Structure 1
């Protein structure tokens, strides 16, 4: 039965591996777990899908937000003059 510490360590390794932020030894361990541990593998692909979804989100403000910023900026110009 896995311990909470073991689970936490696997989760940490999984996230580090997903973001290419692990040592060579950790990468080898993650690769081994991907081949041998079905739960680790399933969680990896679930998180990979989530990561791709997050990256696909458009990162720009809505027109309403832009209009509010511009309006505020214009109001400051009249105060400064």
Structure 2
């Protein structure tokens, strides 16, 4: 599940939000270099992981910041 939004600060467009993966894989654990999110309608966005917070023993909530144009 992802919650994404656009923002505009000082004339710079950007996007970001939060991401809660269904499964915690090794790729998610090592997401320091970023992730690629695939959204409906074949839209793809690359994000930097800016924070990770444990929700439950098996779930995490990741704060993300978009790279490039918003895919939505």
TM-score, normalized by length of structure 1? 0.19
Structure with greater proportional helix content: 1
TM-score, normalized by length of structure 2? 0.20
Structure with greater proportional strand content: 2
